[in-house]
A and B are shown apart, each in its own frame.
Chain A
Amino acid sequence: MTSPTDRYEMVVGLEVHVQLKTRTKAFCSCSTEYGAPPNVNTCPVCLALPGALPVLNAEAVRLAVLTGAALECSIECTSVFARKNYFYPDLPKGYQISQYDKPLCEHGRLQIGLNADAQPIVIGITRVHMEEDAGKSIHDRYAAATAIDLNRAGVPLIEIVSEPDMRSSKEAGAYLRVLKQILEYCDVSDVNMEEGSLRVDANVSARLRGETKLGTKTEVKNMNSFSGVERALESEFARQCAALDRGESIQQQTMLWDGAKNEVRPARSKEGSHDYRYFPEPDLPPLVLDQSWIDEIKKNLPELPRARRERFGTAYSLSPDDADALSASVALAEYFEAVARASDDPKAAANWVRGTVLATLNASSGDLRNFPVRPADLAQLIKLVRDGALSNSAAKTVFAEMAATGERPDAIAHRLGVLQERDEAAIEQWVTDVLAEHPAEAQRYLGGEKKLQGVLVGLVMKKSGGRADPKRVNQLLSARAAG
């Protein structure tokens, strides 16, 4: 017998709200800084004082257009702001300025990976529209009272609405990760779910496999991580499947995810469905953009993750796995690329960055932007190894010092005395000494017992403090045995 979740197919569409990285709010010149004392970043406009009027932030428009272009949307030269009316204490005007029937960007697409047949999985983007954030209601600060912080009120948002094209929680997770990466590449948002600069609502429905009609959906909210989204979707999908199996119909409603209990529960109903009474915002004329301005933004789109991954594969001969890992973030990709160029050794650069650099960062919870090891210094370290001046193990020691002090690798190698010895006489002397100090092994080796060579090389390396070139030591020992 198959479980209900095998017989049904999950259908998911996502609504992602993203705070744009502007210095000032969407409709006034208040700061958007996160974490300021409550209600400090406010003015007559974002407090909705009588008589105040909104003025659109041009930088917010640029970032929204940039995002739309990166998601392959058509950008509308004329879009219209609309008022979404509802009463809530953290919504000062009693309406949110948003866009409704004439959004800025429409009909985009996002490739989120490859399916089992190596065909791209493409998720449709219905629209990307501009709007403003609400303030925050704080229910747990004062007994029997709700506190309102309007610092966030009026912070510019874009809402990215997908088509119901995702068929599993895994695809939803992939969509979010790819989307986040693109937003980060475009530098339009901090994309920080914990600080609320990226928020996800999911529309999910279940239908029998093979069915083409959409089932009744519910909206799932209150997820604070991508894995939370995936778990919430699984949980809600299972609930719907079980209900359908019992012959019940699904009620269109809002569900809240409780990450701690790993379950969804219905939100307290807000007097049935909201009627937002949308109408065009009369305080703002239609947003009219020059096609040439839009084209300029499209032309100057930054290299997006997929393009960079492909270029890493071809330009630096990286494996798909390396290319993927090294393009995970803009900072990492740029770091790698700088090391690869300066060292002229992409393979070594890839190994160092993927391995030691990331491990060091992870261990210290550090950030690449203020990592003490500059790309040029790592490139020099790679060159020292390539030129035989440092052994691989000495290089690891030197790197650890670089990460701790920010010093240059040659200076550290000198200070630690780990540069490899190139003086032939010195190496000869270490070989001679080792053979003299271990007469039994020496006799057996010179007598033809070749397998002892490894042991003797090790002893010479130890005696030299790692400075002897192991290749040269091998050659010298072989010569003596042959001699």
Chain B
Amino acid sequence: MSDAAAVGAVRNAFARMTEVNAGRDGLNIILWSDQASAERDAAAVAESDGPLAGVPVVVKDNIATLTLPTSCGSRILEGYVSPYEATAITKLRAAGAVIIAKSNCDEFAMGSSTEHSAFGPAKNPLDPRLVPGGSSGGSAAAVASGICRIALGSETGGSVRQPAAFCGVVGVKPTYGRVSRFGLVAFASSLDQIGVFGSRVDDAALGLEVIAGRDARDSTTAQHSVPRYRDSNGERLDGVVIGRPKEYFPESLDPALRTLCDRSLDALRSLGAEVRDVSLPHTDLAIPVYYVIAPAEASSNLARFDGVRYGLRIEGDGLRGMYEATRSRGFGAEVTRRILLGTYVLSAGYYDAYYKKAQGVRALIAQDFRDVFDAGVHAIFTPTAPTPAFAIGAKSDDPYEMYLSDIFTVTANLAGVPAMSLPIGRMNGLPVGGQVIAPHFGEPDMFRVAYALERALGREAHK
């Protein structure tokens, strides 16, 4: 890419950003950006022969970047600029990408609507009265509104796939251990994984190829070599077995959503795939298990925000008073709720009944997936979320209702398997996502199914 072309791409991205983001009616999907600095970076990478040379990328606000703030959508980290950058960011930049902005998200990635941001809710580009999903709503919306074609988000229970579905873009949550978490501000370490948004499957495959791989600074990354995911782009699916888990198609499923899923399954069959009914019997336990394990880890991970070394500090009566003032004013209601919940389930006398039992059930959920894949299924197809995007404010007073919007996505995080969402059509004019889940490190099969389905649905995916 020439110097001028790279800088031009960045300018276009900023022009689009200004158009959609700013002002009283703006979408509020971008929190921090610096055009001058991004243009300098673009000029510097112009000579790069990397696969992302000159490509503007938007990054979720909980991934550490140099120069731009990393505030995790929280008051407690307002203005915090990381002195080091995440491994995923280093890899993106080495591939020639230009980091142009940090996107809005639910505070510390806790939420499913990007309403729980200290910097105000983000809005869905398709209809600003609706949420973009969350917690990586800002990144999904940045791709959907045409600011960039690749963006980074993070997943703990569906925070990439669900907003991808709500915004009509592609979102990938890789296998746990596939992408380094170094520099991703931890929410629940055993579930967290950086994910990629793309305007198309190919963009997401390319982005994941770049950021995946073993990192000596994250002991939970896997040694497995990184395949070229873009090689999964094939015509047919002959010999591929797709599982259709009955637990993800309950009686109560919206008929319009069921129809869209059936259309996708028909498309997969017509490409030569065999669709097989399967069962993941412990699916209904996923939400309760998730809301024990994730808050438990969060209560410990967020202890470092104590007003001592960085971020917000509000003086109080002595040390304890400072802790209380800083943390109660620095964290929003949803984060506080989860810290309290997590502290409770780890407490002496409750640990066995909650945390330990939840880990046991988590193992059963993982075993469900192994059983299905061991029986010859290559990938599982389900809806990504039970509903399309909902109205801002519709669920913000009912945490449990909000938690249920992740009902089809948390299982993949609990089991550690890769999963992605891609657009499969619209309900009442709103995008709907289909989810493809594969075995551990089965990203090539996952992408193979997604590429084929995307091609088969063509323009229907966005109608």
List the B side residues contacting A278 at CB < 8 Å. 346, 351
Bound together, the chains give a CA A87 to CA B186 distance in angstroms of 18
* Complex partner residue of A51 from B186, B303, B306, B346, CB under 8 angstroms: B186
Contact A89 B308 (CB under 8 A): yes
Task: Spot the interface stretch: A69-77, A280-288, A351-359, A388-396.
Answer: A280-288
Bound together, the chains give a CA A93 to CA B188 distance in angstroms of 14
Check A439 for interface membership: any CB of B closer than 8 A: no
Task: Spot the interface stretch: A53-61, A169-177, A313-321.
Answer: A53-61
Bound together, the chains give a CA A83 to CA B355 distance in angstroms of 14
Contact B185 A51 (CB under 8 A): yes
List the A side residues contacting B219 at CB < 8 Å. 53-56, 283-285
Check A52 for interface membership: any CB of B closer than 8 A: yes
Within 8 A of A (CB), among B49-94: 62-64, 70, 72, 77, 80, 82-84, 86
Check B283 for interface membership: any CB of A closer than 8 A: no
Bound together, the chains give a CA A279 to CA B297 distance in angstroms of 9
Check A385 for interface membership: any CB of B closer than 8 A: no
Check B396 for interface membership: any CB of A closer than 8 A: no
Bound together, the chains give a CA A391 to CA B178 distance in angstroms of 78
Contact A95 B309 (CB under 8 A): no
Check B323 for interface membership: any CB of A closer than 8 A: yes
What's the nearest-Cβ distance from chain B to residue A375, in Å?
A: 45
List the B side residues contacting A47 at CB < 8 Å. 309
Given A51-B182, A53-B181, A95 and B303 contact (CB-CB distance below 8 Å): yes
| 0/1 interface trace, chain A 248-272, chain B, CB 8 Å (1 if under) | 0000000000000000000000000
Given A44-B83, A51-B183, A283-B219, A83 and B300 contact (CB-CB distance below 8 Å): yes
Check B343 for interface membership: any CB of A closer than 8 A: yes
Q: Which residue of B lies closest to A56 (CB)?
A: B219
Bound together, the chains give a CA A95 to CA B300 distance in angstroms of 7
Contact B309 A92 (CB under 8 A): yes
Q: Which residue of A lies closest to B85 (CB)?
A: A51
Check B217 for interface membership: any CB of A closer than 8 A: yes
List the B side residues contacting A50 at CB < 8 Å. 64, 70, 72, 77, 80, 82, 185-186, 304-305
Check A38 for interface membership: any CB of B closer than 8 A: no
Check A454 for interface membership: any CB of B closer than 8 A: no
List the A side residues contacting B70 at CB < 8 Å. 50-51
Contact B296 A94 (CB under 8 A): no
Contact A283 B189 (CB under 8 A): yes
Check B268 for interface membership: any CB of A closer than 8 A: no
* Complex partner residue of A279 from B184, B306, B355, CB under 8 angstroms: B355
Within 8 A of A (CB), among B178-218: 181-186, 188-190, 216-218
Contact B190 A87 (CB under 8 A): no
Contact A277 B184 (CB under 8 A): no
Contact B84 A44 (CB under 8 A): yes
Interface size on A, residues (CB 8 A): 29
Contact B303 A93 (CB under 8 A): yes
Bound together, the chains give a CA A93 to CA B218 distance in angstroms of 17
Bound together, the chains give a CA A283 to CA B184 distance in angstroms of 12
Contact B297 A282 (CB under 8 A): yes
Contact A279 B351 (CB under 8 A): yes
Q: Which residue of B lies closest to A93 (CB)?
A: B304
Within 8 A of A (CB), among B280-306: 296-297, 299-300, 302-306
Check B33 for interface membership: any CB of A closer than 8 A: no
What's the nearest-Cβ distance from chain B to residue A25, in Å?
A: 14
Interface size on B, residues (CB 8 A): 45
Contact A275 B347 (CB under 8 A): yes
Q: Which residue of A lies closest to B218 (CB)?
A: A53
* Complex partner residue of A94 from B80, B182, B220, B306, CB under 8 angstroms: B306
Q: Which residue of B lies closest to A274 (CB)?
A: B348
Contact B300 A87 (CB under 8 A): no
Check A48 for interface membership: any CB of B closer than 8 A: yes
If over half of B's interface residues share one DSSP class (helix, strand or loop), that class is named, otherwise mixed; here it is loop
Contact A49 B82 (CB under 8 A): yes
Within 8 A of B (CB), among A51-108: 51-56, 83, 85, 87, 89, 92-95
Check B333 for interface membership: any CB of A closer than 8 A: no
- Of the candidates B82, B296, B308, B323, the one having the most CB atoms from chain A within 10 angstroms of its own CB is B308
Check A148 for interface membership: any CB of B closer than 8 A: yes
List the B side residues contacting A52 at CB < 8 Å. 84, 182-183
If over half of A's interface residues share one DSSP class (helix, strand or loop), that class is named, otherwise mixed; here it is loop
Contact B304 A283 (CB under 8 A): no
What's the nearest-Cβ distance from chain A to residue B399, in Å?
A: 23
Bound together, the chains give a CA A114 to CA B366 distance in angstroms of 56
Q: Which residue of B lies closest to A283 (CB)?
A: B189
Contact A277 B347 (CB under 8 A): yes
Contact B64 A48 (CB under 8 A): no
Bound together, the chains give a CA A223 to CA B424 distance in angstroms of 69
Q: Which residue of B lies closest to A89 (CB)?
A: B308
Bound together, the chains give a CA A52 to CA B82 distance in angstroms of 10
Q: Which residue of A lies closest to B180 (CB)?
A: A53
Bound together, the chains give a CA A94 to CA B219 distance in angstroms of 20
Bound together, the chains give a CA A54 to CA B186 distance in angstroms of 12
What's the nearest-Cβ distance from chain A to residue B151, in Å?
A: 18
Contact B306 A87 (CB under 8 A): yes
Bound together, the chains give a CA A94 to CA B62 distance in angstroms of 19
Check B363 for interface membership: any CB of A closer than 8 A: no
List the B side residues contacting A89 at CB < 8 Å. 306, 308, 319
Bound together, the chains give a CA A179 to CA B126 distance in angstroms of 70
Bound together, the chains give a CA A87 to CA B343 distance in angstroms of 13
List the B side residues contacting A282 at CB < 8 Å. 188-190, 220, 297
List the A side residues contacting B297 at CB < 8 Å. 279, 282
Bound together, the chains give a CA A283 to CA B77 distance in angstroms of 22
List the B side residues contacting A146 at CB < 8 Å. 319
- Of the candidates B64, B84, B181, B304, the one having the most CB atoms from chain A within 10 angstroms of its own CB is B304
Within 8 A of B (CB), among A124-171: 146, 148
List the A side residues contacting B319 at CB < 8 Å. 89, 146
Bound together, the chains give a CA A47 to CA B348 distance in angstroms of 28
Q: Which residue of A lies closest to B182 (CB)?
A: A53
Bound together, the chains give a CA A473 to CA B347 distance in angstroms of 89
Contact B184 A87 (CB under 8 A): no
* Complex partner residue of A85 from B186, B217, B300, CB under 8 angstroms: B300
Bound together, the chains give a CA A283 to CA B80 distance in angstroms of 23
Within 8 A of A (CB), among B327-347: 343, 346-347
* Complex partner residue of B82 from A51, A148, A284, CB under 8 angstroms: A51
* Complex partner residue of A275 from B304, B323, B348, CB under 8 angstroms: B348
Contact A51 B184 (CB under 8 A): yes
What's the nearest-Cβ distance from chain A to residue B64, in Å?
A: 5
What's the nearest-Cβ distance from chain B to residue A328, in Å?
A: 41
Contact B308 A279 (CB under 8 A): no
Contact B343 A277 (CB under 8 A): yes
Within 8 A of A (CB), among B352-391: 355
Bound together, the chains give a CA A85 to CA B299 distance in angstroms of 9
Bound together, the chains give a CA A148 to CA B216 distance in angstroms of 29
List the B side residues contacting A93 at CB < 8 Å. 303-304
* Complex partner residue of A87 from B72, B77, B183, B323, CB under 8 angstroms: B323
Contact A279 B300 (CB under 8 A): yes
List the A side residues contacting B346 at CB < 8 Å. 85, 277-279
What's the nearest-Cβ distance from chain B to residue A84, in Å?
A: 10
What's the nearest-Cβ distance from chain B to residue A389, in Å?
A: 64
Bound together, the chains give a CA A253 to CA B393 distance in angstroms of 51
Contact A51 B86 (CB under 8 A): yes
What's the nearest-Cβ distance from chain A to residue B110, in Å?
A: 15
Bound together, the chains give a CA A312 to CA B77 distance in angstroms of 64
Question: When A and B form their complex, which 8 residue pairs have the shortest distance between CB atoms, in order from nearest?
Answer: A94-B303, A282-B189, A277-B346, A282-B190, A50-B185, A51-B183, A48-B304, A51-B64
17 contacts between A and B (CB under 8 A): A44-B84, A49-B83, A50-B186, A51-B63, A85-B300, A94-B302, A146-B319, A277-B300, A277-B343, A278-B346, A278-B351, A279-B297, A279-B346, A282-B190, A283-B186, A283-B220, A285-B220
- Give residues in A with beta carbon < 8 Å to B: 44, 47-56, 83, 85, 87, 89, 92-95, 146, 148, 275, 277-279, 282-285
7 more contacts with CB within 8 A, not counting A50-B70, A279-B351, A282-B189, are: A49-B82, A50-B72, A50-B304, A53-B181, A53-B217, A89-B308, A277-B343
